[in-house]
Amino acid sequence: MKTVMTVRGPVAPDEMGFTSMHEHVLTNADFYMEEYVPVLGEPPACVFPSAPQDPVRMEDLAYLNHGYFARNHDNWDLSDETLMMAEVSDFHACGGGTILECSAPGIRGDVSGLKRISRATGVHIVASTGLYAEKSWPARFLDASVPQFMAWMMDEIENGIDGTGIRPGQIKVASNANTEAQLDFLRAASQVSADTGIMVTAHLGVGTNQEDSHLVYKTLLESGMSPEHLLMCHFHGKVQITSLDMLLDNAAAWAPQLDYAREVLDQGINICFDCFGQTWDTEALGSVADADVYKIAAIYQLVNEGYGEQIVIGTDVFLKIMTRRYGGHGYVRLQNYVVPTLQRIGVSDAIIARLTVTTPARLLAF
């Protein structure tokens, strides 16, 4: 029988309950600071902004949200087990059953901590093998071949992560730029999925254009994996225009852009609408926040077109300012806003159960 591999061992798919399919519990992606900070430039002097080494403070929340989230080490640091245990407890208190933890090596935290949090809160947590974007790769992977990538992932899947015995339940891949090394890694992930049935979550960077994201899913599918096991995350970024200039130039850009979603869904691939509750943007670069109402409107349209079995949701908490204890919505945005809003606009309970229970269990079981 197929099972879901959690940090506390295998669990029957029908025990997962309400599942968030894209989260980070213990993570640190501050390698992004190097990328963002030079592009952002210096913040305006009149707001007395915090320095990169300052802790996240109440008076800096608006500054960090609107343009400069990346310019603060502490904001990237989600390694405080006490903090994240409280956040996961909130998820449980609102009926949450399972979290898919999408922090792959490069940004992955202590998986033993995930097990402690899972045990204390009662929430199932599924950890990830794989690799995050190439710039975050540990040095030993920079020259790896496809068979070496495969052997390493298989070792984590069969024997556990870093000697802990804790086994991952999915492969995370991320491509912000399709370098040859990055494409080789996608080929390896695809073959491991084909061999084992383990699901693959593919992250496409904020700036990824359509051509790049085509190449990511085509490379994955051509290397052997089934589209049923593939989940493309952050798909809200592909249905909403977030460039102020494009919105000014073209009034039609205000509507959800669904053609690309249909193209992907028609191939049997699954998509995740996540980042619910996030209000950050990069105003300094002319980029506006993706509003939750757009994501809801896109889901509404797509489920009405019959794609309700291939869509899942998450909040993708990846910064301190996204946790409830630092002024964000936390993981509970799904239960507090998304589900009640879908109900209010007439999405059936059967479809909501697909988005949050049945499709997650199907994807995670192998």
- Residues in touch with Zn ion (CB under 5 A): 102, 316
Shortest distance (Å) from residue 133 CB to Zn ion = 11
Nearer to Zn ion by C-beta: 32 or 50? 32
Question: What is the smallest separation between the CB atom of 14 and Zn ion, expressed in angstroms?
Answer: 26
**CB of residue 23 vs Zn ion: minimum separation in angstroms?**
8
Beta-carbon neighbour count of residue 337 at 10 Å?
15
- Interstrand relation of 4-6 and 9-11 (parallel, antiparallel or unpaired): antiparallel
Q: Under 8 Å CB-to-CB from 8, ≥6 apart: which residues?
A: 115, 118, 119, 124
Q: How far apart are CA 140 and CA 131, in angstroms?
A: 12
Compare residues 231 and 365 and give the one whose CB is closer to Zn ion: 231
Q: Please, what is the minimum distance in Å from the beta carbon of residue 147 to Zn ion?
A: 28
Residue with nearest beta carbon to Zn ion: 316
Nearer to Zn ion, 24 or 92 (CB): 24
Instruction: Classify 306 in phi/psi space as left (phi over 0), alpha (psi -120 to 50) or beta.
Output: left
* Least gap, CB of 318 to Zn ion (angstroms): 5
* Minimum CB distance to Zn ion smaller for 25 or for 102: 102
Q: Of the two residues 50 and 98, which places its CB atom closer to Zn ion in the complex?
A: 98
Q: Which of 109, 46, 115, 20 is nearest to 317 (CA)?
A: 20
State which residue, 173 or 303, has the beta carbon closest to Zn ion: 173
Cα separation, 313 vs 360, in Å, equals: 9
- Give me the least distance between CB of 114 and Zn ion, in Å please: 15
Closer of 102 and 303 to Zn ion (Cβ): 102
Token code pair at residue 265: 């869904």
CB distance 207 to 174 below 8 Å: no
Q: Which is nearer to Zn ion, 233 or 299 (CB)?
A: 233
Residue 313 CB, nearest approach to Zn ion (Å): 13
Long-range contacts of 304-311 (CB under 8 A, 24+ apart): 305/262, 307/261, 307/262, 307/265, 308/351, 308/354, 308/355, 309/354, 309/358, 309/359, 310/265, 310/268, 310/269, 310/270, 310/271, 310/359, 311/270, 311/271, 311/272, 311/273, 311/354, 311/355, 311/359
- Least separation, in Å, of the C-beta of 22 and Zn ion? 6
Q: In the numeric block, which tokens belong to residue 290?
A: 């993706």
Smallest distance from the beta carbon of 362 to Zn ion, in angstroms?
21
At 335, list the tokens: 């239960």
Report the alpha-carbon distance of residue 236 to residue 330 in Å, rounded.
Answer: 18
Scan for tokens 């254009």, then name that residue. 209
Tokens of 178: 């399709």
Question: Which CB atom, from 281 or from 316, has the smaller least distance to Zn ion?
Answer: 316
